Amino acid sequence: MPRHVAIIMDGNGRWAKKNGVSRLAGHNQGMLAMKEIIKKADMMGIKYLTVYAFSTENWKRSQEEVGGIFNLLVKFVGSELAELDENNVKVHILGEYREKVPGAAVASIDRALETTADNDGLQFNIALNYGSRAEITRAVKRICHLTESGVIKSEEVTEEMIAMALYTGNDNGNIPDPDLIIRTSGEERLSNFLLWQAAYSEFAFTDTLWPDFTPEEFESIIEEFSTRGRRFGGRI
């Protein structure tokens, strides 16, 4: 059983086009799919689930689509927070969500973080206004500040120190690197997602568009993952 599963939830727009509905309707259907995967991951005993909800590049989309996505986030928190809390799910955010995210969405996020802060079940990480290159740049700046102020010497910088300075590091309780990264919709790339953390991750790609991704397919991928031999650069 993987301890940490990360998902690139791709295909909402193509699902909408395929079904003759608006892109926002596609995002709404994707949100419903995400809700079911959270439940399934929790039921299966997965400790960490990370979803790529909104990237730093997604701001290039139309203002209407971007606004609609964040309205759906507010809707999700409003309708699902009580159940998440009841099921002992802990919500975390990966990314600089306070910088550009609309105020109503920020308020909803803060409420989710505060409400679930003491939970110790499934940790649900939402990558929001997230980009891995920006994350690594931020970590380098943090470490540069430590060297410039004399707290550490440059030769003392370690991989562990860099990892601690990432969004998945000390601020969020040292989230372990993902064992498995799933991407839907047939694309086979990381798209600036968890580049540092994915060094030894296994990958699973499916042609299924995200709104059609079911708990059954998720479980099937997890079962296939369990048959893989992970050597981390070593030998069997």
Active-site option among 10, 42, 177, 179: 10
Q: Which pair of structure tokens corresponds to residue 96?
A: 């600089």
Give the span between the Cα atoms of 182 and 73, in whole angstroms. 22
Which region, left, alpha or beta, applies to residue 128 given φ > 0 means left and ψ of -120 to 50 means alpha?
A: beta
Active-site option among 19, 58, 119, 172: 58
Is residue 71 annotated as a catalytic residue, yes or no?
no
Q: Which residue from 39, 33, 38, 35 is spatially nearest to 49, judged by alpha carbons?
A: 38
Is residue 19 annotated as a catalytic residue, yes or no?
no
Report DSSP state, residue 57.
Answer: T
How far CA 89 is from CA of 97, 128, 138, 213, 232, in Å, comes to 20, 18, 28, 21, 30
Catalytic residues: 10, 58
